[in-house]
Amino acid sequence: MRIPVHTAALAVLLGMVASQGLAQGFKPTRPIEVVVHTGPGGGSDVLARAIAIMIEKEKLLPVRMQVVNKTGGNAAVAAAYLAEKAGDPHTIGFFTGVWLTTPLISAESRITLRDLTPVARLVLEPAVIAVKADAPFRTLAEFIDAAKKNPGKMKQSGGSNTSRDNVVRQLLQKSAGVRWAYISFPGGGERIAALLGGHVDMMVIEPEEAGEHIRAGTMRVLAQVSESRLPNFPNVPTLKEAGFDVPVVPQVRGVVAPPGIPKQNVEFWEDLFLRLTRTASWRKYIADNQFEDGYQNAAELLKFYDQFTDRMRDILKDAGVKTVR
Amino acid sequence: MEILSGLANGFAVALDPVNLFWCFVGVFLGTVVGILPGLGPPATIAMLLPLTFHMQPAGAIIMLAGIYYGAKYGGSTTSILMNVPGESASVVTCLDGYQMARKGRAGAALGIAAIASFIAGTVGVLGLMLVAPPISRLALSFSSPEYFGLMSLGLALVVLLAGRSIVKALLAALVGLWIASVGTDLFSSTSRFTFGRLELLSGIDFIVVAIGVFALGEVLANMETQEETQLIPVPKGLRNLLPTLQDLKDCRFAFLNGSVLGFLVGALPGGGSTIASFLSYGLEKAVSRRRDQFGTGVIEGVAAPEGANNSETGGALVPLLTLGIPGSGTTAILLAALVLWGFKPGPLFIPENPALFWGLVASMYIGNVMLLILNLPLVPLFAQVLRMPAYVLYPLILGVSMIGVYSVSGSLFDLALLLVFGLLGYLMRKLDYPAAPLILGLALGAGMERALRQSLMMSEGSLAILVSRPISAAMLSLAVVVLLIPFVGRFNAWRVRAIEQE
Amino acid sequence: MEEETRKAGDLWSGVVLLALGAYIVFEASRWEYLGADGPGAGFFPTWYGIAMVGLAILLIASHVRQRPSVEKRIAWPRVGRALAVWLALAASVALAKPLGFLLSFALLTFFIVAAMYRRPVKVAASVALAGAAGIYLAFPLALGVSLPVGVFGF
């Protein structure tokens, strides 16, 4: 088909204008500060460092990325630090679910995602429901039955009462009409030790953490907390398939920026991370860590944030936790 | 024997010149990092991670592990010389170490710290090599009731650390418990004692309190008078700058105590070097013939905790390498490093990566030897630091303290907290409140509350769980025994008096 | 054994600790003592708060009961010196953000050497400068530990 000259000329002209527009967009000139709320070795810190390495490898940025640990306050300190850096185009932060829930329950934690500039949601972390290998339950239904017969006697190890572990528990308890005990441990290692030592009956655990124990035969998985079956767990039913129609409240990780940055800046970041999620290194990283790609741009992230916090408020109220916002 | 052949292969890996080099780099960096208060192994390892991608995994893990256990050697330096704890685990070393320095025995203290670290560190590696699987199974049987028993035992040591007034010691410990409660409650997400400040939401950092109460309190107390001359005598002559044979003999039990206790506590997920060093110090004091002199500069009081915090590193590697479960902050980042390099730490890690495991073990033996050779000659050098006139030394201590605290969190709020606890430390000195129980309460408080509440959740409210399980029952009984020790002494004295009066 | 540690301060510290203990118990009463899932946030604080109140009363009582015949006088000049240094420290932390850590530390050192140890101004200034320079070399430069930077750029 022959393209009319004027259409071609228009296309060329538009292309030139568009590239001018992009050229006038934001370009970083200093190392980028990446704020995380954990110390070195913590989940966000490791992800941030891995992403920095990937971005360097795929040459997506002309400058370095520097991870800055702002620990404390269950992400409140990191959020407040980002808020202080208003208008700074060379700072971003990696948020996780705790950034979203802490402001709901702590009066002191004043900075929510809406007070900052949401940029993108990157990954969703699914989870699995695991028991010790020699436990008598073969399916989630059997565990729920045992809980029904012994109300309050079955035990689950997990994080704080606002963590995803407890959220899953609250949703399942409500849906199945049963109750079991929930015991908080501050670190993943202790939770796993409690399960392997037979001190608790089940736990909600990230598939990557459980992987080696499953392979060694010390742990078994009853169900998976995700929308569809994960590639590494083809024979494990999802919660819905196992007969429990509960919403999958995901553990999220994403990018956030200080408030008051220009639109071009946000678009630059959105574009950067979108391109990152299309690279081979990223796909390999997701597969290795058994994450789910959950990319959303800034507008979608904001909608997700509202939905997520509304749902969390209901869940927390059911769990008896006082919400302040 | 499988172990011997594994070890032989391990030494083949570890003695490779490249790996020897990385081992040296690691232990050297670790020592430097340990000497500086505040800056710790986790942050250093995190900074070096990108470098490790260009290295072979064997060399990389050897270097990072070297930083980990090397820091435990360096941590005692500022504790002894300046009463500034270099690491959280070195807080206990301040108690007798600094007092020894004030009596002119800084060299002996530094030397015994290095020697105890070497002995205990080597025992820790031996433990990792020989008994890792059974210890790991034993550690799994340890849960909240047992932890509560362990913490109670630790807290019962308050009585031993009491000094002259038990009432004041107990009050100090209770204040420590209170400070430990500041923050967000893990179970209910309630904010406790945060006074509306978000910086307090995750609690007050242990090292901020320790440096404030110990170092700043000491400096402020010394500012009361204008000492013209250098106040801490530094003896001349190399012989006086190192531990004597008598010192080594006095520390025989301390070496054993630190090595074994540190390793066992380190192997517990949720244990830690601070608890290990407190328990070791307490045990040493409980069995020592000169227990009343602890706190005034007794050399076993330095050897035991310093040994414990070194063998704890070997112990902490047990759950990491046999189960993929990290214990403390540093093992968490070592786990992250292993994952980043493509390994999968878990129950199958050792069988599937024998060269890496045995190479690491062998390198730890070599590393401990390197550290001994590195640290001992530095002892006379470091002791010379105390030759500085007071008007140079004290600002230096203040600067190091402030930078140490700031480097942990980068927060000026923490510096303000440091000031508060510095003032508290000074007031406690003036009013004769012992500082050690406060620090002990702070170190154990959070863990003890958690363990108690977890236990009650496990038993649905029944306290019987604490005594029905053998290990926790044993620990609680020991705690009661420890609480009675001072009264035994008084009872005996009363009996003697009663007999004499007849 | 208890005699040596009796000082005038016992009464006041006892009162402060009594107040603290009472405050702790009061705050703890606002939180859950025993919940459906187990002991709540108020459980532990209630108990150590009560213990604190009890021990503080013991302390005050033993002070009142056996008031020593010769009250040890507090050496106020000495305490004054220590508190002056503390105030200088507080000032240096407050000034760390505007002036930068190095400068505020140098000022603190100068104060200690000149005012506390009565050294001549030149000595004080050189110790202050040497200290700040040493810190600058060791921490931001060699080790990459970032320190607060003030309006002067260092």
Shortest CA distance from B460: residue in chain A: A153
- CB pairs A-C closer than 8 Å: 5
Contact residues on chain B for A211, CB-CB shorter than 8 A: 344, 346
pLDDT (tens digit per residue) in B234-270: 666 666 677 888 888 888 999 999 999 999 999 988 7
Q: In this structure, what token pair is assigned to residue B62?
A: 């050897």
- Cβ distance A72 to B327 less than 8 Å, yes or no, reads no
Asked whether the beta carbons of residue C35 and residue A320 sit closer than 8 angstroms, the reply is: yes
Q: Does residue B417 contact residue B208 with C-beta atoms inside 8 Å?
A: yes
Give the tokens for residue A212: 């080696």
Tell me if C86 and B416 make a contact (CB, 8 A cut-off).
no
- Touching B (3+ Cβ pairs <8 A), the chains are A, C
Quick one: how many helices (H) and strands (E) in chain B?
22, 2
- Interval A196-217 mean pLDDT: 91
Which tokens go with B321?
Answer: 């390498």
Mapping DSSP onto H, E and C, the string for chain A reads: CCCCHHHHHHHHHHHHHHHHHHHCCCCCCCCEEEEECCCCCCHHHHHHHHHHHHHHHCCCCCCCEEEEECCCHHHHHHHHHHHHCCCCCCEEEEEEHHHHHHHHHCCCCCCCHHHCEEEEEEEEECEEEEEECCCCCCCHHHHHHHHHHCCCCCEEEECCCCCHHHHHHHHHHHHHCCCCEEEECCCHHHHHHHHHCCCCCEEEECHHHHHHHHHHCCEEEEEEECCCCCCCCCCCCECCCCCCCCCCCCEEEEEEECCCCCHHHHHHHHHHHHHHHCCHHHHHHHHHHCCEEEEECHHHHHHHHHHHHHHHHHHHHHCCCCCCC
Task: Identify which of B225, B418, B433 has the shortest CB distance to residue C78.
Answer: B225
Q: Which of B170, B399, B456 sits opposite C38 (nearest CB)?
A: B456
Model confidence pLDDT, tens digit, residues B143-199: 899 999 988 888 888 777 777 788 899 999 999 999 999 998 888 888 899 888 888
ipTM rounded to 2 decimals: 0.89
Q: How far is B387 from chain A (nearest CA, A)?
A: 37
Q: Is C116 in contact with B221 (Cβ distance < 8 A)?
A: no
Nearest to B424 by CA among B178, B252, B231: B178
Q: Is B489's Cβ below 8 Å from some Cβ in C?
A: no
**Mutate which of A184, A218, A291, A317 to disrupt the B interface (most B C-beta within 10 Å)?**
A184
Which positions ≥6 away from C8 have C-beta within 8 Å? Answer: C71, C72, C74
- Residues of C within 8 A of A320 (CB-CB) are 35-36
Given CB atoms, is A226 within the 8 Å cutoff of chain B? no
Cβ contact, residue pair B391, C58, below 8 Å: no
pLDDT score recorded for residue A320? 79
In the predicted model, is pLDDT for residue A258 greater than 90? yes
User: Within the 304-323 window of chain B, which residues sit less than 8 Å (CB to CB) from chain A?
Assistant: 319, 323
* DSSP assigned state of B142: -
Q: What is the pLDDT along chain B (502 residues), one digit of tens a residue?
A: 678 888 888 898 889 899 999 999 999 999 988 888 877 888 888 888 878 888 888 999 999 999 999 998 888 998 998 898 888 888 999 999 999 988 888 889 999 999 999 999 999 999 999 999 899 888 888 889 999 998 888 888 877 777 778 889 999 999 999 999 999 888 888 889 988 888 888 889 898 999 999 999 989 988 888 765 455 666 666 666 778 888 888 889 999 999 999 999 999 887 788 889 999 998 898 888 888 888 888 999 999 999 999 999 999 999 999 998 887 778 888 998 898 888 888 888 988 999 899 999 999 999 999 999 988 888 888 888 887 888 888 888 898 899 888 887 778 899 999 999 999 999 999 888 999 899 999 988 888 999 999 998 888 878 888 888 888 888 888 888 887 776 776 677 777 777 777 6
pLDDT in 10s for each residue of chain C, 154 residues? 444 445 667 888 999 999 999 999 999 999 988 877 778 889 999 999 999 999 999 998 888 877 665 556 667 888 888 999 999 999 999 988 888 888 889 889 888 888 888 888 888 888 888 888 888 887 777 666 677 777 776 7
For A151-179, write each residue's pLDDT tens digit: 888 999 998 888 899 999 999 999 999 99
Note the pTM of the prediction, 2 decimals.
0.86
CA distance A124 to chain C (A): 30
d(CA A192, CA B323): 9
Rounded to whole angstroms, how far apart are CA atoms B278 and B289?
Answer: 19
pLDDT tens per residue across span A102-119: 899 888 888 999 999 999
Is B192 touching C (CB cutoff 8 A)? yes
Whether the CA torsion B395, B400, B401, B407 is positive or negative: it is: positive
- Residues 352-371 (B) with a CB less than 8 A from some CB of C: none
Fill in the DSSP letter of residue B183: E
Can you give the pLDDT at residue B449?
92
